[in-house]
Amino acid sequence: MPIVTGKPAKAKLVAAIMAPHEELIQKALSALEPTFGPVELASDAFPFTYSDYYKDEMGDGLRKMFCSFSRLIEPDEIVSLKLEAIECEKKFVRDAVRRNGSESSSRQNVGRRSVNVDPGYLDRTKLVLATTKDCSHRIYLGKGIYADVELMYRSGSFVCLEWTYPDYREAFAIEFFNKVRSAT
């Protein structure tokens, strides 16, 4: 019996971008555009109140936005795109004095990210995020990057999984990714 391999269909490039304010989210999108391409759809920015995970590094009052880009990617491109996202984050590392804060309060955040970019892809059956963190349900792709299936498409809509992040469970998130899927 011959070995049969299948080439996956191209997928829609998506990302979640988080920062202390929407202006910084827009600057990050502009920095990503040469590699990721133009934004096709974007959610409204929403308060990220689901976890304190980023608080020590990025501060309080974080905002997050989901977006899709006009270009389709090969699913294995997500490794290089996550590495590009990490490079983009480095462009927004805090300087010695933040523009909107005092010198003493900013010293503790020197050298820390002020933007978080989580790229992924959406195909007809799932939403996959790229991450640098290992976990039992994540698959290693190479170069320190793992794939994490966040949502699965069933019976006309994306549905959550046991490990789906809380913000991806929200009705507005499901609606956004259904809209991206419909436009693809």
Cα–Cα distance, 142 to 76 (Å, whole number): 10
Kind plus residue range of the DSSP H or E element containing 179: helix 171-183
pLDDT at 123 over 80: yes
Residue 107: its pLDDT value, please?
47
How high does pLDDT run on average in the chain?
Answer: 91
Cα–Cα distance, 164 to 180 (Å, whole number): 18
Model pLDDT for residues 75-87, shown as the tens digit of each residue: 999 999 999 999 9
Q: Which residues of 14-30 are buried (b: 16+ CB within 10 A; e: fewer)?
A: bbbbbbbeeebbbbbbe
% of the chain with per-residue pLDDT over 90: 85
Q: Which two structure tokens, joined as six digits, stand for 116?
A: 């978080």
Residue 112: its pLDDT value, please?
87
pLDDT at 97 over 60: no
Residue 105: its pLDDT value, please?
44
Model pLDDT for residues 37-71, shown as the tens digit of each residue: 999 999 999 999 999 999 999 999 999 999 999 99
- Residue 148 contacts residue 128 (beta carbons within 8 Å): yes
CA torsion angle for 29, 31, 33, 34 (degrees, to 10)? -170
pTM (2 decimals)?
0.89
Domain extents in the chain: 11-183
